Amino acid sequence: MKDDFFALGGDRDTAEALRAEIVTRFDTPLSREAFLDAPTIERLGCLLRAHSRSLNEAPVVELQPHGPKRPFFFLPGGEGTTLNAYAFARRMGPDQPVYGLQSRGLYGDRPPFSRIEDMAADHLESLRTVQPRGPYLLGGHCAGGWVALEMALQLQRRGEQVAMLAVCDAWSPAIVGARMANETFLDDLVEFCAIAAAGFRYWFGADLRLDSDEMRALAPEQRVAHFMRLAREHGAYAPDEPDTRFERLLAVFRSYPRAGYVPTERFQGPLTFLRAIDSKFCETPTEGWEDVTTQPLRLRMVPGNHVSLLTEPHAEAVAHEVRAAIAESGVS
C-alpha cells in the first residue's frame, strides 16, 4: 500500500501504461503529474476516490468477477462493507464469480434503511444489474444473513428460484430481540470501538492498540476523533478518511438489530449454516436457522471465530463448504 512504484523498479513508460489503465478501469481522470506526485497505492486510492462517485458509492463490489459459473452474491455483516470478504472470494476459485453487495448508508448522502425488507429490495435491484434472472446463489455473514434470507423470500414470492442460501455465523431473526436485550455495545461507544478494532486486526492486519480505559478518560465528543486517528495511523482507514466515516459505520451497524425483522414465510430452498467453531457470538450449533427453511438445515462447522472465519487462514474452509453447497444445488 505504501511502497513507491518507482522504488520497486517502475519507470516512466511503465507508469504511463499503468496510469492509462487506471483511467480506463475507473473512468476517472488521473494526470501524469498526479501519478508522479503520488506513486503509491494508498495515495493513488485517495486521489481516485476524491474524484469518483462510483468508487465511493458502488452498491455492487466485484470481489472476484471472473469465470463462467453462476455468480454468488454475498452480504456483509453489520459493518456493511465487503472489504473483509476478499480472502474468502479469492478462495472460491478463479472460475466462480463472487459479488459483494454493500450496505446503503456507508457512503454517499443517503441514510441507512431502517427495515430489513427495504435493504433486501434495494440489494435485489443492484443484483439484477449483474444477473437479471435466477436461479440465484445468495449468502451473508452475521446480519447480512438476515438480508440474504429476506432477498430469497422476496425472490421466492416472485416465482424466482434461489438455488442456495448460505449463512455464516449468525443469530436467526427469531432470537435477535432476546440476545440484544443482554448486549450493550450499540450504545456504549467505547465497547463498540473495541469490537471494531478487533475486526480491523483480523480483516486488515491493523492493530490499533486501542486502550479502552484511555478512551473512556476522554470527553465523549473526543472519542470518535481519537479512534479514527488511530485507525488512519495504523492503516485500517485511508489517510483521507473523515471522522464521519465511523459515525456512518455505527449507524449502519445499529440499523440491523433495531429493524425488528420477522420473516413472513419460510424459505423453500436449501440453506447452509456455517457455524464458526470458536464463535463466542453464537451460543447454539444452529442458532434457530432450521426454523426458517422447509428443507433440512445443512449445518457445517468451520474454523475461526465470528470475525475471523472469512479471513486467512480460515477462508479456504468456508469457501470449500460454500462451493460444496453450490455443487449440491445442481445449478451451474
Domains in the chain and their CATH numbers? 12-55 (no CATH), 58-173+261-329 (3.40.50.1820), 189-255 (no CATH)
Q: CB-based contacts of 38: which residues, under 8 Å, 6+ apart?
A: 44, 46, 47
Angle at which helices 116-128 and 143-157 cross, to 10° = 70
Residue 241 has pLDDT above 90, yes or no: no
Nearest Cα to 98, choosing from 136, 55, 63, 135?
A: 63
- Could you tell me the three cell numbers for 6? 518507482
Average pLDDT taken over every residue of the chain: 88
Residue 42 has pLDDT above 70, yes or no: no
62: β partners:
99
* Euclidean distance between CA atoms 245 and 256, whole angstroms: 18
162: β partners:
136
Identify the weakest region by mean pLDDT among 150-154, 165-169, 179-183: 179-183
- The stretch 131-152 carries a mean pLDDT of 96
Query: Residue 194's pLDDT is what?
Result: 92
* Euclidean distance between CA atoms 324 and 74, whole angstroms: 16
Query: What band does 297 get if pLDDT is binned at 50, 70 and 90?
Result: very high
Residue 298 has pLDDT above 90, yes or no: yes
Query: Residue 29's pLDDT is what?
Result: 67
Nearest Cα to 271, choosing from 256, 253, 286, 251?
A: 286
Contact 301, 275 (CB under 8 A): yes
Query: Residue 23's pLDDT is what?
Result: 66
* Euclidean distance between CA atoms 217 and 221, whole angstroms: 11
Query: Residue 37's pLDDT is what?
Result: 65
- Could you tell me the three cell numbers for 267? 424459505
- 1/94: higher pLDDT: 94
Query: What band does 287 get if pLDDT is binned at 50, 70 and 90?
Result: very high
- Could you tell me the three cell numbers for 196? 471494531
**Three-class DSSP category at 139:** strand
* Euclidean distance between CA atoms 136 and 126, whole angstroms: 13
Query: What band does 55 get if pLDDT is binned at 50, 70 and 90?
Result: low
Q: CB-based contacts of 95: which residues, under 8 Å, 6+ apart?
A: 66, 67, 68, 69
Residue 99 has pLDDT above 90, yes or no: yes
Query: What band does 20 get if pLDDT is binned at 50, 70 and 90?
Result: confident
Query: What band does 3 get if pLDDT is binned at 50, 70 and 90?
Result: low
Contact 193, 215 (CB under 8 A): yes
Amino acid at 199: G
**Three-class DSSP category at 301:** strand
Calculate the CA dihedral of residues 116, 319, 100, 142 and round it to 10 degrees. 30
Give pLDDT tens digits for 215-227.
999 998 899 999 9
Query: Residue 81's pLDDT is what?
Result: 78
- 18/119: higher pLDDT: 119
Nearest Cα to 162, choosing from 292, 36, 2?
A: 292
Prediction pTM value: 0.85
Query: Residue 9's pLDDT is what?
Result: 67
